[in-house]
Copies of this chain bind each other. A is one copy, B any other.
Amino acid sequence: MSKKNAVIGQSGGPTSVINQSLVGVIEEVAKSSHIDELFGARHGVRGIINESFIPLKGQPGELLEKIAITPAAALGSTRDKPDAEYCQKIFASFKKHDVHYFFYIGGNDSADTARIVNELAKKEGYELQVFHIPKTIDNDLRVHDHCPGFGSAAKFVASAMRGDNFDNKSLPGIKIDVIMGRNAGFLTAASVLARLHDEDGPHLIYVPEAPLSEEKFLADVDAVYSKRGRCLIAVSEGLMNPTTKKTWTESLLTNLDKDAHGNVQLAGTGALGDCMANLCLTRLTPAGGKKLRVRADTFGYLQRSFPGFLSEVDANEAREVGRAAVLHSKAKGVSGSVAMKRISDSPYKIELFLTPLETVARETKHLDPAFIAGGNNITRAFIDYAAPLVGPLPVVGAFEEMR
C-alpha cells in the first residue's frame, strides 16, 4: 500500500480542547500504514494556499501532551471561507505536496469548507478524502449529540456562575452574566448546573431560542428580586428581541464586525450586559426606595480559552474524535464528519460514527424546546443531557443560615 500525505488544519473560534483532537490525529497517523507525512496547515485553509505547513510527524510526545492541554488552536485558526477560486488554490497545494487526506477541525462553517473542498475535488477527479473533526463551544452541530469543546466551556461557565452566586449572596443585588452563544443557547443553559439548592442562582436564564422583551425581562427580575432580595441572571450574547427579530446587541450597536461567513460579532463587547444593567437601574424601583446594586459581567473569551480547567470527558472525547478520523480514512473513498451518538445518560456512554459532511455543514442546531421552561429557565432534561459532559464542579459549602 503506497502511503500518501495528509493535511490537518484548525478553523473558526478555538476551544480549550481543539488541540486534543489535533494530537489525536497526530498520534493515530504515527501508527497508520496509509499516511506518510502529516502537514499542519498554519491558520487553516490559509496555510494550505500559502503552503505554510508545520511537519507534524515525529514531534516529541512530551510536547504534544503539553499542546493537548493548551487552549486555542496550536496551528493557528482562520475565518476564511473558501470559494471556488480559493479551492483551486487548495488543490494546487494538495497536488504539489501529494496530499490525499484532509482533516479539518472546526464547527459548522468549517464542515461547510470541508464539504466544498471535497465536492470540488470530486468534480476535478482528484482523489481526496476529507474529514471534519467537530469542535465548538456553541455545541450547535446538527447530527452530533454534542461537540468537543462544549463540555469544557460549560464547566467554566457553570463554575463561574456557582462562584458568582456566592458573590451575589455576599453583597446582594442584581447581577447579569453574559455568556457566549450566537444562535444556540447550550452554553448559557449550562449555567443551570451551578445550582445546588432551590435558592441558588442563576435565577433567570435567557437563551436565543426564547426571545425576550424588555418588559418580560424587567417583570422577571422584579419578581425574583422581590422574593429573594437578589437576582442572578445568565443571558446569552445572542439574546433575541421578539419584536425586532434581531439580537439585543444588534439593536444596540450599529457598527458590529462581521466575519467572512456573515456572522455578526457579538462577543468581545460589554454592550449587552451594560444595557440590561441600565434597564434595571432606570426602570426598577425596589421597595423602600433604596438604590439598586446592579452589575454586569461578560464572561468573554475566557469561556473558550481558560487553561487548566478542562472537563475530563470533553478532553478525552476530543482526542478520540481525532483518532477516529484517521481510522476512518483507511477505508478508500470515505469522507465525513466524526460524530458522537449517545447510548445512555446514566451511565454516560457514547459511540462514534461518521456522518456525511453535508449533514453537518452550514445550518446549526438549537436547544430542544423541551430544555427551556417559561422563557427564563432550563429544565431537568437539559441537566441530564449536559451534566455528564461537564463532569464534577468545584465543591462549595454554606452555613445553613446563609443559604
By the criterion CB–CB under 8 Å, are B167 and A72 in contact?
yes
By the criterion CB–CB under 8 Å, are A302 and B305 in contact?
no
Name A295's contact: one of B69, B77, B162, B267 (CB within 8 Å): B267
- What does DSSP make chain A's interface, helix, strand, loop or mixed? loop
Point out the residues of chain B lying under 8 angstroms from A271, CB to CB. 270, 274
Q: Can you name the residue of chain B whose Cβ is closest to the Cβ of A40?
A: B399
Point out the residues of chain B lying under 8 angstroms from A306, CB to CB. 159-160, 163
Please indicate which of the listed interface residues A75, A267, A293, A302 has the most CB atoms of chain B within 10 Å of its own CB. Answer: A302
Point out the residues of chain B lying under 8 angstroms from A309, CB to CB. 308-309, 394
Please give the distance in Å from A261's CB to the nearest CB on chain B: 13
- A371 interfacial contact with B, CB 8 Å: no
**How far, in angstroms, from A14 to B169 measured CA to CA in the complex?**
11
- A346 interfacial contact with B, CB 8 Å: no
Point out the residues of chain B lying under 8 angstroms from A395, CB to CB. 66, 69, 308
- A375 interfacial contact with B, CB 8 Å: no
By the criterion CB–CB under 8 Å, are B159 and A394 in contact?
no
**How far, in angstroms, from A131 to B54 measured CA to CA in the complex?**
60
**Given A166-B72, A167-B72, A302 and B297 contact (CB-CB distance below 8 Å):** yes
**How far, in angstroms, from A16 to B169 measured CA to CA in the complex?**
14
Point out the residues of chain B lying under 8 angstroms from A401, CB to CB. 42, 54
Per-position contact with B for A131-164: 1 when CB-CB < 8 Å, else 0?
A: 0000000000000000000000000000110111
Q: How many residues of A contact B (CB 8 A)?
A: 73
**How far, in angstroms, from A401 to B76 measured CA to CA in the complex?**
11
Residues of A164-203 at the interface with B, using a CB-CB cut-off of 8 Å, are 164, 166-167, 169-171, 175
27 contacts between A and B (CB under 8 A): A10-B170, A14-B170, A14-B171, A54-B401, A66-B395, A69-B394, A70-B398, A71-B163, A72-B166, A72-B167, A74-B398, A75-B399, A76-B171, A76-B402, A77-B170, A159-B308, A160-B306, A163-B306, A265-B295, A269-B273, A269-B296, A270-B273, A298-B300, A299-B302, A307-B394, A308-B394, A309-B309
Q: 12 new A-B pairs (CB below 8 Å) besides A164-B305, A269-B295, A297-B301? A: A42-B401, A66-B395, A67-B399, A69-B395, A72-B167, A164-B302, A268-B277, A268-B294, A270-B271, A270-B298, A297-B298, A308-B393
